Every structure is written in C-alpha cells, then in structure tokens.
Amino acid sequence: MKSPIRIILLTSILSTVVGCTTAPPTFGERMLMEGESRVQIAEQWEAGQKDLTKGEATLSSGQKLADKGRSYLSKGEKLVASGNVKIQKNKLDYQTLSQTVVGVESADLALKRVAKLKVIANDWEDGEDNLIEGNKLIKRGKANIVEGEANIEKGQKLITSGNAKMQSAESLYRTQG
C-alpha cells in the first residue's frame, strides 16, 4: 500500500516541477525583449538630454537675472551716495543762507535770497528722491540676485542630473550591445 502512495506522490511532485519550468524564449521573444530594453535606454537618454537642455537654459537665465540684480544694486548704491551728498550740501547751504537773512536791507535782496532758498530746497528734495529711488533699486537688485542664484543652482542640478541619465543610458547600451 505504501508503494502506490509513493508513486502517486512522486508523480505529482514530478509533474509540478516539470509544469513550472518554462521553455526558453523563442528568437522572436528575445528580439522583442531586447527591443523594449533599447527603447527604455533611448527614453532614458532623451530624458537626460531634456534635463540638460532645460538646465542650461535655467542656468543662463539665472546668470542674466543675477547680473541684472548686481547692476540694480550698483545703480542704487550710487543714487543713495549722490542723494546723501546732495542732502548734506543743501542742508549746509540752507544753514549758511539762513544765517545771513538777518542783515536783509531791501525787498530786492530778500527776493534773491528766497530764490536761492527755493533752489536749495529743490536740490535737497532731489537728494531725498535719489535716496528713495536708490533704496528701491537696491532692494530690487538684491531680490534679483537671490532669484538668479537660485536659478543657477537649479540649472546646475538639472545639468548634473541630465548628464548622469545620459551616461547611464550610454553605459547600459554598451553593456547590452
């Protein structure tokens, strides 16, 4: 009795093992699998190329934006400096002219001094305007520099990533070739 059970058991194990093994892929199946892997390699390389191109554009625009920011910063600093000079000069001119107002003997002389005071006040106001505009340019310049540097970093990362994808795809292609 034990013998038929052993035979049935061995037969079922053998049929399971034989049923699980598969036949080797045909030539056509191998070509299909190889073609699919080549398509994946090509897609990976194209994705890398796309990242590289986008990275170069982002890097370039970041550099231009940072340069523009530095230009704004420089112009703003010059305006602030010239505004400070105008303000200080016209404050001093105003103080000097106001001290001489005491000795005014005629209406004509008073009108001339008032006209000088108007010129001083206008120049003083121009200096204040330069300060305001200069500070706006400095603020805009700093913002452009920060944004430009962020774009430069993003572009560099895209370039690195794109190069890595392309090199990996080329390496896979060579090993499968």
DSSP for 103-115?
A: G--SHHHHHHHHH
Average pLDDT of 118-145?
A: 97
- What is the structure's pLDDT at 4? 64
pLDDT, tens digit, for every residue of 6-17? 666 566 665 655
Which one has a higher pLDDT value, 91 or 37? Answer: 91
Task: Determine the pLDDT at residue 27.
Answer: 60
Structural contact between residues 155 and 60, judged by C-beta atoms closer than 8 angstroms: yes
Provide the mean pLDDT of the chain. 86
Q: What is the pLDDT of residue 8?
A: 66
Confidence of residue 106 (pLDDT cuts 50, 70, 90): confident
- What pLDDT score does 173 carry? 84
Sketch out the chain's domains with CATH numbers: 40-176 (1.10.287.620)
Can you give the chain as a three-state secondary structure string? CHHHHHHHHHHHHHHHHHHHCCCCCCHHHHHHHHHHHHHHHHHHHHHHHHHHHHHHHHHHHHHHHHHHHHHHHHHHHHHHHHHHHHHHHHHHHHHHHHHCHHHCCCHHHHHHHHHHHHHHHHHHHHHHHHHHHHHHHHHHHHHHHHHHHHHHHHHHHHHHHHHHHHHHHHHHHHHHC
Confidence of residue 109 (pLDDT cuts 50, 70, 90): confident
Query: Are 85 and 134 within 8 A, CB to CB?
Result: no
Query: What pLDDT was estimated at residue 102?
Result: 67
User: Taking 70 as the threshold, does the pLDDT of residue 101 lie above it?
Assistant: no
pLDDT band at 176; cut points 50, 70, 90: confident
